[in-house]
Structure 1
Amino acid sequence: MKIPPYLKKGDTVAIVCTARKFMPEDAIPAKELLESWGLKIKLGATIGLDSCQLGGTDTERAADFQNMMDDDNIKAIWCSRGGYGTVRIIDMLDFTKFKKHPKWIMGFSDVTVLHSHANVERIATLHSIMPFTVPKAPEEVKETLRKALFGEHIEYKVPTVSYNVKGKATGEIVGGNLSILYSLLGSKSSLDMKDKILYIEDLDEYLYHVDRMMQNMKRNGYFDNVKGLIVGGMTDMHDNEIPFGQNAVQIITAIASQYNIPIAFDFPAGHMKDNRTLVLGSQVDFEVNDKEVKLIFKN
């Protein structure tokens, strides 16, 4: 696994659109945050573009991201917001130079496409808040991103919940948005799950669809060699008029508990204010006990 160079004061971070549109004025809070850390900002050509839901056409978004990947002066690329659209450009990108000279890709939700593809290319990324979510992010959450970018030690200890499954594991943490991971199955961006600790989260899904995604991932052998499971926010779930009969925790537990692995629910990452940064591709120590969940990043 290649860990991109950590940032130092004076480095430049690019802000781009890979999915939903994002206006220059909306980038001001993120710009101020980066400047408070001693960093410079470059707004991509897609910031301010409007192509229905998207921040520019597929060609425009791919070209902007490619330019930032290949620009030696850019040390990190921050995706402005999620939504939908990143999968439309992933096969238009050339990672040749990026693999030789990696830099941090940052974001969550639809950015899971980039996290997964970068992991296949064996490059670490940051599952983190985005410029769109900066205004509502607590200071301690912003601080987790700063620590990750500057290479400071990160570890999380959070209270356990009664429906966790106890255990310990060490492995490489991967994952992101459940719906995106499901949509990537069978593609060249699909993760190799052997000896991995999987992190998942989701937003605004019907419970039966959560079950469908978990069942399909199980049938694809997704959980056969996983060493642990971390479940972040399963936020704003929906049910049908005739109830499905299980909530998100019960759906996930019914499948994941078959594999004799530690499982932590309600972890503070995902579509929530307490969206702490995860260094995807990093080796971690993961423990679930009676009192707390511990996640310690080792590189």
Structure 2
Amino acid sequence: MIQFPRLKHDATIGVTAPSSGVPDALHKMFQSACDKMEERGYKVQCGQTVWTQVKAKSASGKVRAYELMSMLKNEEINLIIPPWGGELLIEIFEHFLFQEIKPKWVLGYSDTSLFLFALTINTGIATAHGPNLVDLRGEYWDETTKMWERVLQLEEGKSITQYSSTYFQKEWQHSNPSPCVFHLTEPTEWKMVGNKELVIEGRLLGGCIDVIRHAIGTPCGDVKSFQQRFLQGEKLVWYFENCELSVTDLRRTLVQMKLAGWFDYCSGILFGRSTANHPVGGYTAEDVYEALLKELEVPIAYDLDFGHMPPQLTLVNGAFAKVEIKNGKGYIKQTFKN
């Protein structure tokens, strides 16, 4: 049984850095993100880890775990959003106590998605893969990004539909600030492997494949127990985005996931856009997707709106989803059913 938190209109947002904090040179930029959220009616409570960054992390794993746990247990905090991702979130787990967590939203992507994945797997509490706090600092939000609020405010038992974006961002332009943060210039096309149309249904689960792969073989990655305990064997719709992996590393990772049984109850796989996926010896990401289609015999789609090439949908781990794609466009309908 999945538990779905609900975002309040006047919520207090807890900001902590379970992976990377904000270096001194970017404190002003980050403070502007907090100010914008307060202008929109939220209260913002920042932890100490947000303001420090040394040797690829905000603090020790123990300190990061303690601050995150404190915010998860704080009843005044309704939503937790890290400033952004990072590299070494995995270090917090040996200091973390999942059994003490009560339902509340945690939102983010990149390295944060490893925590989202582990939290849902271990507790059955839904988590939200979507924008980090710095992505929300603009004067306005684009049509895709702004759906994060509506998704997190959804009542249990209700449904919400998000559609493919019109344009996406090819590359960051930090020297040319945009009122909505992103520079959306490239036409969006959701693609499929071997199909003209695609329909998939199942429970959503996934994140940044670079980091969630490290949950394989650990308590944080016991997908079989998660399906039996919380989903009663329902099928999964997996979603992955590749931040930095080469195509061959992506292939190795997907094979490892298959061998670990992660795809045993899979109804389809969605891949987000990626600036990685560099070919190796002529071997491309499309070759990887085609191999996966032949092996698993489930629908495969790619270049969807999530990951490190904005904008991105807000995808809820544990939500029941229906995905339809046709002629390069599509939608994902999520239902918050136990």
Q: TM-score of the superposition, structure 1-length normalised?
A: 0.89
2:296 aligned with 1:259:
yes
Q: What is aligned with 1:196?
A: 236
| 1:144 aligns to 2:175 (yes or no) | no
Structure 2: state its 5+ residue gaps: 165-188, 228-232
Q: How does 1:27-106 map to 2 (within 5 A)?
A: 27-98=30-101, 101-106=102-107
For residues 177 and 27 of structure 1, do their structure 2 counterparts lie closer, same or farther at Cα, with a shift above 3 Å needed? same
Cα shift at 1:19: 0.8
Q: Does the residue aligned with 1:18 lie in a helix, a strand or coil? A: coil
* 1:221 aligned partner, one-letter code: G
CA shift, 1:140, in A, is 2.1
Shift in Å, 1:138: 4.8
Q: Distance in 2 between matches of 1:96 and 1:198?
A: 25
Q: Does 1:172 align with 2:172?
A: no
Q: Secondary structure at the match of 1:65?
A: helix
Does 2:290 match 1:288? no
- State the aligned residue count: 294
Matched, 1:119 2:120: yes
**For each residue in 1:94-133, what CA deviation from the matched residue of structure 2 results, as whole angstroms up to 9, or x when unmatched?**
22331xx310011111112212211211110010111233
Of residues 208, 214, 217, the one that matches 1:186 is 217
Contact 1:262 1:287 in 2 (8 A): no
Q: CA deviation at 1:67?
A: 0.7
In structure 1, the partner of 2:108 is 107
Q: Give the aligned partner of residue 161 of structure 1.
A: 191
Structure 2 residue 13 is the aligned partner of structure 1 residue 13: yes
Letter in 2 for 1:216: Q
1:275 to partner: Cα distance: 1.6
User: 2:134 is aligned with what amino acid?
Assistant: F
Contact preservation (8 Å) 2:36, 2:137: no
SS in 2 for 1:203: coil
Mapped partners of 1:215, 1:131: distance in 2: 33
Please point out which of 251, 256, 264 is paired with 1:224. Answer: 264
> AA paired with 1:10?
D
- Measured at CA, do residues 95 and 218 of structure 1 come closer, stay the same or move farther in structure 2, by a change above 3 Å? closer
Indicate conservation of the 8 Å contact 1:13/1:75, yes or no: yes
* Deviations 1:230-259, CA, capped at 9 Å, x for gaps: 1112223334xxx43221122122123432
Worse-superposed segment, 191-200 or 63-72? 191-200
Task: Using the TM superposition, give the Cα deviation of residue 280 of structure 1 relative to its aligned residue in structure 2, in angstroms.
Answer: 1.6
Aligned-residue identity in percent: 22
SS in structure 2 of the partner of residue 224 of structure 1: coil
Letter in 2 for 1:213: T
| Structure 1: gaps of 5 or more residues | none
Question: Structure 1 residues 34, 164: closer, same or farther in 2, change over 3 A?
Answer: farther
What's the TM-score once normalised by structure 2's chain length? 0.80
Distance 1:222 1:4, change over 3 A: closer
Tell me the secondary structure at the aligned position of residue 126 of structure 1: strand
Q: CA shift at 1:65, angstroms?
A: 0.4
Quick one: which amino acid aligns to residue 250 of structure 2? V
RMSD of the TM alignment (CA)? 2.3
Deviations 1:34-92 (A, max 9, x none): 22432111001211123322111212211110110111101111122112111100231
